[in-house]
Amino acid sequence: MVEPEGEPHALVVRRDAAQRTLDLWSKRPMRLGESDCVRMVAAHLRLLGYKVKLPPKGSYRSVNSALKALREAGHATIGDALDAMGLARITPAATIVGDVILMPAEHDLGALVVAMGNGRVAGWHDDYADGVVVMQPLQMVAAWRANPR
């Protein structure tokens, strides 16, 4: 497929959105309801042209209240919410830069990250709570293709 003149290739848009997401979130400490993986991924998807609706900032502050907000929005899991947005599920091994990945967590929410390419992801890590970092995931639960719109 040939891109229209003046339009950047989809992979360039994905790369730029992933890098911008990392740049914007790397200095934000993890705080449920204010700066968390759902809000980071929502911001990333907005950079790709998606419309994302989230509960108001600060409306949840714990895993239990986040799960309650998710259920009130009509979703049993974060994965269900991404499915409802129309993002296509893909095998985690097929992710490319800009895709969204769900990783396991010590709680029922899971942890969303953004694929950065070369097997790396951007997200919060328990050992580096001061902001989003690039890391090598050991296990991935699910993934979604996030094509620019």
Give the per-residue SS3 of 66-94. HHHHHHHCCCCCHHHHHHHCCCEEECHHH
Per-residue pLDDT at 23: 97
The string of pLDDT tens digits covering residues 28-83 is 999 999 999 999 999 999 999 999 999 999 999 999 999 999 999 999 999 999 99
- Quick one: average pLDDT of 103-117? 94
Question: Token pair of 139, please?
Answer: 């296990």
pLDDT at 108: 87
What band does 2 get if pLDDT is binned at 50, 70 and 90? Answer: low
Tokens of 84: 């409802």
Task: Give the mean pLDDT of the chain.
Answer: 94
For residues 3 and 90, the model is more confident at 90
Task: Report the predicted TM-score, pTM, of the whole model to 2 decimal places.
Answer: 0.92
pLDDT category of residue 3 using cuts at 50, 70 and 90: low
Tell me how far CA of residue 133 lies from CA of 4, 9, 76, 86, 138, in angstroms.
Answer: 34, 26, 28, 27, 15
Pull the structure tokens for residue 136: 């090598």
Report percent pLDDT > 90 for the chain. 89
In b/e form, how buried is each residue of 137-147, taking b as 16+ CB within 10 angstroms?
beebbbbbebe
Residues 5, 51, 37, 123, Cα dihedral to 10°: 0
How far apart, in whole angstroms, are the C-alpha atoms of residue 100 and residue 87?
9
